[in-house]
Chain A
Amino acid sequence: MAAENSIVQARGLRKSFGTTEAVRGIDFDVKAGECFGFLGPNGAGKTTTMRMIGCVSPSTSGSLQVFGLDTQKSGRKIKQRLGVVPQEANLDEELPVEENLTVYARFFNIPSSVALDRAKQLLEFMELTEKRSARVSELSGGMRRRLLISRAMMNNPDLMILDEPTTGLDPQARHLVWDKLFELKRRGVTQIVTTHYMDEAEQLCNRLAIMDQGQIVENDTPQNLVQKHIGREVLEIRVSEKEKSHILSLNTELIKDHDSYRDLLILYSDDADQLLEVIKNTTINTDYTIVRRSGLEDVFLKLTGRRLNE
């Protein structure tokens, strides 16, 4: 049985495609009413995990329960209560906007009069009412994404899974989507989101699982992740290899941790200004330095590495 309040529970979940292991034994819980995020570089296994939760891809081993039901056995029952927003739009291009929603509602066996009412409300909510008779091909990228989210809400889902909900949108459209997702969270709809945008993860997610190469490397609230791995501030300084070791050998509590990439030394600290003063008191050249607040991106790069994985 799933733990109380657990909407999704994964234990030792694995997925292989032939000899490639896309997901290598992950454990996580998603609780009712929260927004849970999967953050990770491309190819980390986020989408594969989402497809398993959505009961469209069978797992290779381990257990995965949604609403306390086994995804391998009760796909139909689970999907009846899910709202799925895919990464790329798969709307019905031949159908007008409103009919995209009502036709989709039939797959959930929602009576047509109910579906029509709900479609009208959702188009209103997503600010698409003016476009209800337009063809999908006439919509902008942001409108398509909002229509996809509306469509995923036609069955009043208990859990929404959104795969990169704002990838490819301009800033205005992103903020509108975030606003709507936040509103949904306030209404108590549990959400699972994948993203590789740090600001999105910080905006939307109560808890985050950082994925890399098919594994969850960390799983906590965004604030705790930053506090635990980085501290409050960051000092970036461009120095020679010799100077690097000099700085790291300084006997100071101010350096919580560090990271290094080519000539860039990244120092994590709770007081970067004071740390900079300490370094200035040595002979090290401090012309190229930046002091800034820490963020999720620092955690992400620290945990998943600075090199391209592709």
Chain B
Amino acid sequence: MNPLKPFSFSPRQAFRVWQREVSVYKYVYKSTIVSNLMDPLIYLMALGFGLGAYVNRMQGLPYIQFIAPGLISSSIMTAATFETTINTFVRIHFDRVYEAMMATPVTVEDVVVGEMMWAVTRSTIYATVMLCVVTALGLTRSWYAIFVPFMGVLGGWMFATLGLTYTSQLKSIDQVNFYFTLFITPLFLFSGVFYPIDNLPQIVRMIAFLSPLYHLVEVIRPLVLGRLEFGVLIHLAWITGFVLIFTALPVNLLRKRLVK
């Protein structure tokens, strides 16, 4: 296949792909939304109340209040990641959903963009539900928090780009585990969700700067806690730059994988 072949993309057809996912989600959301949100909520309860009883204050905040915005951020990451790794792999290889779509006036480019839009939708839903829970627990301090769903869009887009890029290279579903154990879990633990990394050694901070989740946390925490400073714009720019540069990558890689 000629790599220079121009993209054949139609926003309307990508929307149709997105609509198909919405139709399926109507039948499965009840079983998935609870299990997917339980994870961050258990961390919030166990560490916030449990560890929080021993940790006096973190950056001048009760510990649970410190980690709540971090867990909103990580739920954005997991939502988009599950959707674009395991679910996408199943759609390609087991249910062969993409094959069915591509027999219609839908191109591979429409499929990939539609799937990204859907992963973004799920991230945004989870970010919003998590924000509501955190707010109900009295942990939100600022009206700026209403911008959190917007970060669900941008953060979801970023992790969808990463997930689809990885999935485009997968040979078997077992390889999905590597992505979680070698990439997602380290991000979860070393990106400032549970402790600030500002005071850690220089080398750790440099590595953290490469972490997409770190930048997401550093935007969402100031929004939820009302501590907006100039630095937030740098993190926002990092995320925006990332999606602008890398979005075309999974489109290209999946085209190579799916069009033979």
Chain A contacts to B: CB under 8 angstroms? 17, 54, 56-58, 75-77, 79-80, 82, 84, 86, 88, 90-95, 99, 103-104, 106-109, 155
Interface of chain B residues 69 through 115 with chain A (CB within 8 A): 95-97, 99-107
Decide: B103 and A93 in contact? CB cutoff 8 A: no
Cα distance A104–B23 in the bound complex, in angstroms: 11
Determine if B181 is an interface residue (Cβ-Cβ < 8 Å): no
Determine if B247 is an interface residue (Cβ-Cβ < 8 Å): no
CB closest residue in chain A, given B28? A94
Decide: A107 and B13 in contact? CB cutoff 8 A: yes
A138 CB → nearest B CB, Å: 14
Decide: A79 and B104 in contact? CB cutoff 8 A: yes
Size class of the contact patch on chain B: 20 to 34
Q: A92-B20, A107-B106 provided; 17 other pairs, C-beta below 8 A?
A: A54-B103, A56-B99, A56-B103, A57-B259, A58-B1, A75-B107, A76-B10, A79-B105, A86-B100, A90-B99, A94-B24, A94-B27, A107-B16, A108-B104, A108-B105, A109-B16, A155-B104
Cα distance A91–B96 in the bound complex, in angstroms: 8
Determine if B12 is an interface residue (Cβ-Cβ < 8 Å): yes
Report A-chain residues with C-beta under 8 Å of the C-beta of B13. 107
Report B-chain residues with C-beta under 8 Å of the C-beta of A54. 103
A161 CB → nearest B CB, Å: 9
A135 CB → nearest B CB, Å: 9
Decide: B20 and A103 in contact? CB cutoff 8 A: yes
Decide: A109 and B103 in contact? CB cutoff 8 A: no
Contact with A92, one of B12, B97, B105, B107 (Cβ below 8 angstroms): B97
Report A-chain residues with C-beta under 8 Å of the C-beta of B1. 58
Decide: B103 and A86 in contact? CB cutoff 8 A: yes
Q: Which 9 A-B pairs have the closest CB atoms?
A: A107-B104, A90-B96, A84-B103, A90-B100, A76-B105, A79-B105, A80-B105, A94-B24, A106-B16
Determine if B59 is an interface residue (Cβ-Cβ < 8 Å): no
Determine if B8 is an interface residue (Cβ-Cβ < 8 Å): yes
Cα distance A103–B97 in the bound complex, in angstroms: 12
Report A-chain residues with C-beta under 8 Å of the C-beta of B135. none
Determine if B260 is an interface residue (Cβ-Cβ < 8 Å): yes
Determine if B19 is an interface residue (Cβ-Cβ < 8 Å): yes
Cα distance A99–B259 in the bound complex, in angstroms: 27
Report B-chain residues with C-beta under 8 Å of the C-beta of A57. 259-260
Report B-chain residues with C-beta under 8 Å of the C-beta of A17. 260
Report B-chain residues with C-beta under 8 Å of the C-beta of A92. 20, 24, 95, 97, 100
Decide: B23 and A95 in contact? CB cutoff 8 A: yes
Report B-chain residues with C-beta under 8 Å of the C-beta of A106. 16, 19-20
CB closest residue in chain A, given B22? A103
| Given A57-B259, A107-B16, CB of A76 within 8 Å of CB of B8 | yes
Report A-chain residues with C-beta under 8 Å of the C-beta of B24. 92, 94-95
Cα distance A92–B90 in the bound complex, in angstroms: 12
| Given A80-B105, A86-B103, A103-B20, CB of A95 within 8 Å of CB of B27 | yes
Contact with B102, one of A56, A58, A88, A93 (Cβ below 8 angstroms): A56
Cα distance A159–B107 in the bound complex, in angstroms: 19
Report B-chain residues with C-beta under 8 Å of the C-beta of A88. 96
A115 CB → nearest B CB, Å: 12
Cα distance A88–B100 in the bound complex, in angstroms: 11
A193 CB → nearest B CB, Å: 16
Decide: A56 and B259 in contact? CB cutoff 8 A: yes
Q: Which of A17, A75, A88, A107 has the most CB of B within 10 A?
A: A107
CB closest residue in chain A, given B100? A90
Report A-chain residues with C-beta under 8 Å of the C-beta of B16. 106-107, 109
Q: Which of B12, B28, B101, B105 has the most CB of A within 10 A?
A: B105
Report A-chain residues with C-beta under 8 Å of the C-beta of B259. 56-58
Report B-chain residues with C-beta under 8 Å of the C-beta of A56. 99, 102-103, 259
Cα distance A261–B16 in the bound complex, in angstroms: 55
Report B-chain residues with C-beta under 8 Å of the C-beta of A109. 12, 16, 105
Cα distance A91–B103 in the bound complex, in angstroms: 12
| Given A56-B259, A75-B107, A76-B10, CB of A107 within 8 Å of CB of B101 | yes
A189 CB → nearest B CB, Å: 16
Interface of chain B residues 1 through 29 with chain A (CB within 8 A): 1, 8, 10, 12-13, 16, 19-20, 23-24, 27-28
**Can you list 20 A-B contacts (CB < 8 A)?**
A54-B103, A56-B99, A57-B259, A58-B1, A58-B259, A76-B8, A76-B10, A76-B105, A77-B105, A88-B96, A90-B95, A91-B100, A92-B20, A93-B95, A94-B24, A94-B27, A95-B27, A103-B20, A107-B13, A107-B105
B252 CB → nearest A CB, Å: 15
Cα distance A214–B237 in the bound complex, in angstroms: 54
Report A-chain residues with C-beta under 8 Å of the C-beta of B260. 17, 57
